C-alpha cells in the first residue's frame, strides 16, 4: 500500500475520464464531458465513432484498434488519422497482443510505428500492452518497442481483457523499463483512491478511470 500523499486536484490532473462501453450513446458522451469538467480532470477518452466532440478546456483522446488489437496496422493508422482529423489530440492504440505473446517485437514496433507515422509528431500516442496477458519479459520488450517507435506513453490495459487490468507490479516494471523517457498510463480496474495512489507510487504518470468521481472523492482537497 502506498503512502504517497496527493490532493484531489493533483490526481485529477493525471486522469483520462473514460467511456468506452459498446452501448455508449451520444448523450452518454455529453454527460461524460460535463462530469469531466465538474471533476477538473485532464482529459476525456472515447471511442472514435463518438468523434467529434465539443470539450473545450479538456484534452480529447480516442482509442484505436480497440479492444482486441487484432486489426491490420494500416487500418489502425487510418482509424487514428481519422480520429485526429475529427479532433482527437491523443490516441490510445492497442498493439497486436498475440505478436507480443509470440515474442515478435519487430511486429509490435512496426504496428506502433505505422500509427505514429499516420498521426504525425504532434499527437500524443499511448500504446496499450494488455499487460495482464503478457509475461514480465514480454512487457519489458513491448515497452522498448513502443518507445523506439515513438510512443509518448505505454499503457497497461484496455479494461476489457478477461485476464485483468492494471497491477502495481506491471506499472512498476513499465516505469523501470522506460526510465522516465516516456509516460506510463495505468488503466483498467482502478476503482478506489488508494488503488490510484498505489499506481502513481509505482510510476504511473497518467490514469485511465471510468469511475473517476469515486476515486477522487476518496482524496483530500
Catalytic residue among 92, 96, 111, 198: 92
- DSSP 8-state symbol, 95: P
Our answer to whether residue 155 is catalytic in this structure is yes
Respond yes or no: is residue 92 known to be catalytic: yes
Catalytic-residue membership of 96:
no
Q: Are 90 and 120 in contact (CB under 8 A)?
A: no
Check if the beta carbon of residue 64 is closer than 8 Å to that of residue 83.
yes
CB 188 within 8 A of CB 157: yes
**Short-list 151, 149, 67, CA closest to 110:** 149
Catalytic residue selected from 76, 96, 126, 155: 155
16, 111, 126, 185: the active-site residue: 185
Could you list the beta-strand ranges (E) of the chain: 15-19, 43-46, 59-64, 90-94, 124-128, 153-155, 183-187, 206-209
SS3 assignment, position 128: strand
Q: Which residues are catalytic?
A: 92, 155, 185
Amino acid at each position: 500500500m502506498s503512502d504517497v500523499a496527493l490532493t484531489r486536484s493533483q490526481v485529477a490532473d493525471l486522469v483520462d475520464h473514460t467511456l468506452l462501453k459498446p452501448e455508449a450513446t451520444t448523450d452518454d458522451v455529453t454527460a461524460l464531458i460535463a462530469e469531466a469538467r465538474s471533476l477538473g480532470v485532464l482529459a476525456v477518452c472515447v471511442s472514435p465513432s463518438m468523434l467529434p466532440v465539443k470539450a473545450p478546456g479538456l484534452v480529447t483522446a480516442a482509442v484505436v484498434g480497440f479492444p482486441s488489437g487484432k486489426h491490420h496496422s494500416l487500418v489502425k493508422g487510418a482509424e487514428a488519422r481519422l480520429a485526429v482529423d475529427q479532433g482527437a489530440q491523443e490516441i490510445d492504440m492497442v498493439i497486436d497482443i498475440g505478436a507480443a505473446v509470440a515474442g515478435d517485437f519487430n511486429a509490435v514496433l512496426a504496428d506502433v510505428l505505422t500509427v505514429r507515422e499516420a498521426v504525425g509528431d504532434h499527437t500524443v500516442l499511448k500504446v496499450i500492452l494488455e499487460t495482464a496477458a503478457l509475461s514480465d519479459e514480454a512487457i519489458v520488450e513491448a515497452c522498448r518497442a513502443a518507445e523506439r517507435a515513438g510512443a509518448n506513453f505505454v499503457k497497461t490495459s484496455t479494461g476489457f481483457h478477461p485476464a485483468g487490468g492494471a497491477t502495481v507490479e506491471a506499472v512498476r516494471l513499465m516505469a523501470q523499463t522506460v526510465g522516465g523517457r516516456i509516460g506510463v498510463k495505468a488503466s483498467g480496474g482502478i476503482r478506489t483512491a488508494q488503488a490510484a495512489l498505489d499506481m502513481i507510487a509505482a510510476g504511473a504518470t497518467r490514469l485511465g478511470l471510468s469511475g473517476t468521481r469515486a476515486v477522487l472523492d476518496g482524496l483530500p482537497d
